[in-house]
Structure 1
Amino acid sequence: MTDPVLVWFRRDLRLSDQAALLAACGDGPVIPVYVLDDETPKHRAMGGASRWWLHHSLAALDASLRDKGSRLILRRGKSAEVLAKLGEDTGAGRVHALRHYEPWWRNAESAVAKALDLVCHDGNYLAPPGSITSGSGDPYKIYTPFWRALKQTMPPADPAQRPRDIPAPAHWPKSDRLSDWDLLPTRPDWASAFGDEWTPGEEGARARVARFLDRADDYDATRNLPSIEGSSRLSPHLHFGEVSPGYVWHRTMDAGGSVDVFLGELGWRDYAQNVILQFPDYAAKNARDKFDALPWRGGKAASADLKAWHQGRTGYPIVDAGMRQLWTTGWMHNRVRMIAASFLIKHLLIDWREGERWFWDCLVDADYGSNATNWQWVSGTGIDSNMFVRIMAPLVQSPKFDAGDYIRQWVPELAGVKGDAIHDPEDAGERPDCYPKKIIGHREARERALQAARKAR
C-alpha cells in the first residue's frame, strides 16, 4: 500500500465539489483531518456562534465520510505543528487543502508547506481571489467593475460529484472526541434556539438551496423585507463550505426574474475576499486614513449605549428587533444589519470596529472578509463604501421596508402595538413602560455625526 495522504479541512466541510478531497483520492489512502486551531488566528479565533455551527457541521461531515468507509480525524493545536506530527506518525508526506485567504490561514499554509508537500486547490469562491484583474493587471478595489469583470468569466465550472470511494489507510491515527472540544454553550445555553433555525452540514445546505429556488426569481423584491422569507439564508453554509458557490450558481442561475441580483450577492462574497487579499488588516484599520481623526465616543456613556445596542434596547424598534434576532438565532436579516450597523456608527458615534467584533462573535456566518467589508462599507471608511454623511434613518427605513411583523416577532414588548405605531411607538404615544425610550433622538444624533465628520475632514 502506498503512503497515505492528508486532507486538511477548514472552511470547506463537504464531500461534493471538493477539489482537495478528489485529488487526494487519486494519490492513495486518505486521512481527512480537521484541526481546531485557536493559536494561529490569535484574536481572530472563531466566535461563540461559529463554534456552535462548527460542532454540528463536523459531526455531519464525519457521518458523510463514514458512509464512504472513511472518517474525520480531529486534532487541536497549531495547524502546522499538528499536521507535521500527524504526517510523521502516519507516514503521510503530502497534504491536500482548499486555499484560504484570511491572513492567518495564508500564514499557516506557508508554515505547513515547510514541513509537508502542501498541494492547494481552489474551490471556495466563484473565481480564485486575485485572478480577476483590470486591463493593467491590477486587482480591483471597487465592487462594480470587479463584478462586471467577474461576470465575464461565469458560469463557473460544473460542480464535481463527491468521490465514489475514499480509500482508507491500513491504520487510523488517534482522534480527539468532538464533545471534548466544548464547542457548544452550556451555562447558559444561549444557542438553545439555533437548532430551530439551522441544520448545519452538507445535506442541510443543499436543502436550503432547494427551498430558495422556489423564490429566487423574486429575490430583488423580497430580500429587503425582513417580515418575509426573502433572503436565501445560505451565508453560513457558504462560509463553512458545506456547499460550494459554484454549486449554488448552477442551481440558481436559470431561475429567471431577479435572480441576477442574488448572483451579484455571490459576487460580493468574492469581492470581499479580494479586498482582504489586498488589505489583510481590513477588519482593524480604516481604509481611508482621514477617518483616523474621527472623534469616536468613549467613556461610560458610550459603553452604556454600546451595551444597549448589544441587548436590543435602544428604543428604535427595527434596530432592537435585529439585535435580538442576532442573539436568538445567530443571524440577522441583511437590510436590518445595515440599519443596525449604521445606528451604532452614526447615531451612537461608536467605532465601527466595536460592531464588527460583536458580529464576529454572534453571527453563525461570521466571515472575516465579508464582515469587515460590510462594516467598512456602512461606516464610509472602506475603499468602496457608502458616504459617512449618508445617515440611515431607522424610523424611515422601518415602514419603508414593512418591518412591522418582524418587530412584533423579535420585540415581544411591542407585539400589541397596532398599525404604523409599531415603527415609532414612543412618538405615537404607545410605548409600553417595559420598552425603553430612545437613547438619542434622530436629529440630535445626525447633527452630532455630521459634526464629527467635519472634524475628520
Structure 2
Amino acid sequence: MPQKISIFWFRRDLRLDDNAGLYHALRSGHPVLPLFIFDTAILDKLEDKDDARATFIYQTLSALSLQLKKYHSDILVKYNTVTHAWDEVLKEYNITEVYTNHDYEPYARERDAAIRKKLAVSGIALHSYKDQVIFEKNEVVKNDGKPYTVFTPYKRRWYEKLKPFYLQSYPTEKYLRNLYNTESLKMPSLQQIGFTESRAAFPDKEYRSVIKNYAETRDFPAQPKGTSHIGLHLRFGTVSIRKLASDAYQADDKTWLNELIWREFYMMILYHFPKTAGHAFKPEYDNITWRNNEHEFEAWCKGQTGYPLVDAGMRELNATGYMHNRVRMVVASFLSKHLLIDWRWGERYFARKLLDYEMASNVGGWQWAAGSGTDAAPYFRVFNPEIQLKKFDPNLEYVKKWVPEYADFSTYPKPIVEHAYARDRCLKAFKKALAEKH
C-alpha cells in the first residue's frame, strides 16, 4: 500500500514562509506533498500567449521547487481542468487529507465546493484557512451582523478589531522536515501550457522604504519610489499579508496600511455581493445607456485620446502591465464618463493587461470611478484630466516618458472629446438612468 500523505494545494499563496494552510498541513501527522494546478478553465481565457502572469507563476513555481528540493521534496504541477487534475492525483497517491487557503472570488468558490464534494466521495477532508487577508467574510461587520458597504466605517471597525495575534506569522519553517520525500517531479514547460516567455520586468518585494513617505508621494506618477508595486506579489501570495500589515501598522503614518484595508474591503464586498463582478453595486446604474463607441474604446486602449495623462497611463499599462493608482482613477473616469463606455469594458481590459489584476479591487475601483459602486460620492464627480495633470504631473515628467510626441502638436492627436461637453453629456445620461428607477 502506498504511503499515506497529505496534500497542500497552492493557489494564490506561492511561498513557503508564513503560509497558514501549509503550516496546518505540515502539522497534520502525515508527510506533505505540495500541489499546483495550471487550471485550463482560467488559462484558456487569457488572450495573450506571452501573458506575463503565466511567466511569473512559472518562475515562482520553479523557485519553490528549488527550495523544496533542499528538504528532499518537490512540487507536483498539473496542467488540466481542476477536476481532471484531481482525478489524476487521487489515482497516483494515497491521500488522507487536503489543505489549502481560502479564495473568495466567485469562480474559486464554485471550484472549491466541487473539489470538496469530489474528495468527500473518497473520504478525504478538504481543510481551508484564511491566508491572503487579515480579516475576511464576516469578521468585520456591523453590530447587526450585516456587511459594511461604506469604506470609512469599515476601516474604523477594522482597526478596532485588530489585535497583535492577527499579525503573527505562521512558523512554517519549523516543520518543513515534514514534507513528503520524493524524487524530482517533472514540471510541464511554459510552452506545454500554451504560453511563451514574457520579457516583462517584475517588481521586487521591497516596500518598507515607501511606507514612510507614502502619504506625500503616492499621488505623483513620476515618483520612482512613490508607490511600492507590491500588488503583483499580493495577488499571487509571494509575500505574506501579515508581514506587510505588521510593518505598515508600526509606521507613524497609516496611509499605506489603509490601502491594504481598501483591498480587504473590496474582497469583503465581492464575497457578500458576488453579482457586483458583472453588475453595478447600485442597481439603478445598470440603466445607463452607454455609447460604447468601439473606435473611441480602441483609442483609449492605445493611449490615443488626446489627453496626455490618460494616454500616458494606458501606454504605461500596455508596455509594463502596471499603471499608477492615481492614473488608474483618471483613465477609468475618462472611459466611463467622458466617453460613456461601459465600465465593464475597461474592467475587462485591465483584467487582460494588469500584472496585479485582482478581481475584487479591480471591479471595486472601476465601479468607484463610474459612480456605480459602494462609494457615497454623487455621480457628478467627473475628473478633469487636464487639472489632474497639472496637480500630479506638473513638470510633465510622467507624460514626457510615455507620450514623447506630446510636445509636437502636429503629431499628437487632438482631444477625442471636449471636457465640458463630455461632462454635460455624462450628467444627462446618468440623470436619465437614475430617474428611471422611480
The normalised TM-score by structure 2 is: 0.90
Name 2:278's counterpart in structure 1: 284
Q: Counterpart of 2:77 in 1: which secondary structure?
A: strand
What residue number does 1:252 align with? 248
Q: Distance in 1 between matches of 2:70 and 2:415?
A: 55
- Aligned residue in 1 for 2:82: 79
Amino acid in the other structure paired with 1:405 = E
Residue 110 of structure 1: which of 106, 110, 113 is its match?
Answer: 113
Contact 2:303 2:311 in 1 (8 A): yes
Distance 1:351 1:277, change over 3 A: same
Per-residue CA deviation, residues 62-98 of structure 1 (Å, 9 max, x unaligned), is 2222233321211022224422431332101311001
Cα deviation, 1:243-274, whole Å, max 9, x if unaligned, reads 12111011232232x3x011111101111111
Aligned to 2:261: 267
Alignment gaps of 5+ in structure 2 = none
Q: Give me the identity figure in percent.
A: 32
Which residue identity does 1:323 align to in structure 2? M
- For 1:45 and 1:15, the matched residues in 2 are separated by 31
2:51 corresponds to 1:34? no
Counterpart residue number, 2:410: 433
Aligned to 2:214: 219
Q: Tell me, in whole angstroms, the C-alpha distance in 2 between the residues paired with 1:58 and 1:72.
A: 8
1:376·1:385 contact (CA, 8 Å) conserved in 2?
Answer: no
2:221 alignment partner AA = P
CA contact (8 A) 1:75 1:175 kept: no
CA deviation vs aligned residue, 1:100-123 (integer Å, no higher than 9, x gap): 111111111111212131010111
36-45 vs 367-376, which moves further: 36-45
| C-alpha distance 397-410 of structure 1, shift in aligned 2 (>3 A) | same
The separation in 1 between residues aligned to 2:39 and 2:9, in whole angstroms, is 12
Match of 2:178 in 1: 167
Runs of at least 5 residues in structure 1 that lack an aligned partner in the other structure: 418-430
Cα distance in 2 for partners of 1:41, 1:185 equals: 13
Quickly say closer, same or farther: Cα 1:277–1:215, change in 2 above 3 A.
Answer: closer
1:150 aligns with 2:158: yes
Aligned mates of 1:242, 1:77 — CA distance in 2: 23
Asked if 1:445 corresponds to 2:437, the answer is no
Moved more, 165-174 or 62-71: 165-174
Contact 1:4-1:92 at 8 Å conserved across structures: yes
Quick check: 1:213–1:255 contact (8 Å CA) kept in 2? no
Distance in 2 (CA, whole Å) between partners of 1:308 and 1:289 is: 29
Structure-2 change in CA distance of 1:249 and 1:106 (3 Å) = same
Residue 137 of structure 2: SS of its match in structure 1?
coil
TM-score with structure 1 setting the length: 0.87
Give the counterpart of 1:351 among 328, 337, 342: 342
- Comparing 84-93 and 395-404, the one that deviates more: 84-93
Shift, 1:46, TM fit? 10
What secondary structure sits across from 1:53 in the alignment? helix
**Would you say the 8 A contact 2:5–2:95 is kept in 1?**
yes
In the other structure, the counterpart of 1:421 is: none
Partner-residue secondary structure (3-state), 1:34: strand
Q: Residue 426 of structure 1 aligns with which residue? A: none
Secondary structure of residue in 1 paired with 2:399 = helix
Question: Could you tell me which residue of structure 2 aligns to residue 294 of structure 1?
Answer: 288
Conserved? CA contact 1:291–1:381, under 8 Å:
yes
Alpha-carbon distance change, 355 to 166 in structure 1, aligned in 2, over 3 angstroms = farther
Task: Give secondary structure in 1 for the equivalent of 2:8.
Answer: strand
After superposition, the CA RMSD in angstroms is 2.2
User: What is the Cα deviation at residue 409 of structure 1?
Assistant: 0.9
State the distance in 1 between where 2:233 and 2:350 align. Answer: 17
The answer on whether the counterparts of 2:210 and 2:227 sit within 8 Å (CA) in structure 1 is no
In structure 2, what residue type is equivalent to 1:105?
Answer: A
Alignment of 1:177-216 (within 5 A): 177-182=188-193, 184-185=195-196, 191-192=198-199, 194-195=200-201, 198-199=202-203, 204-205=204-205, 208=206, 212-216=207-211
Matching of residue 92 in structure 1 with residue 95 in structure 2: yes
Name the CA distance, whole Å, in 2 between partners of 1:8 and 1:262: 31
Corresponding residue of 1:409: 401
For residues 323-365 of structure 1, give each alpha carbon's deviation from its aligned partner in whole angstroms, at most 9, with x where no partner exists.
0110111110000000000000011100000000000010001
Deviates more, 1:172-181 or 1:268-277: 172-181
**Aligned-pair CA distance for 1:45:** 9.7
Is the Cα–Cα contact under 8 Å of residues 25 and 167 in structure 1 kept in the other structure? yes
Indicate conservation of the 8 Å contact 2:79/2:193, yes or no: no
CA contact (8 A) 2:137 2:272 kept: no
Change (3 A) 1:386 1:72: farther
- Asked if the contact 2:73–2:181 (Cα under 8 Å) also holds between the matched residues in 1, the reply is no
Q: Is the 8 A contact 1:311 1:320 kept in 2?
A: yes
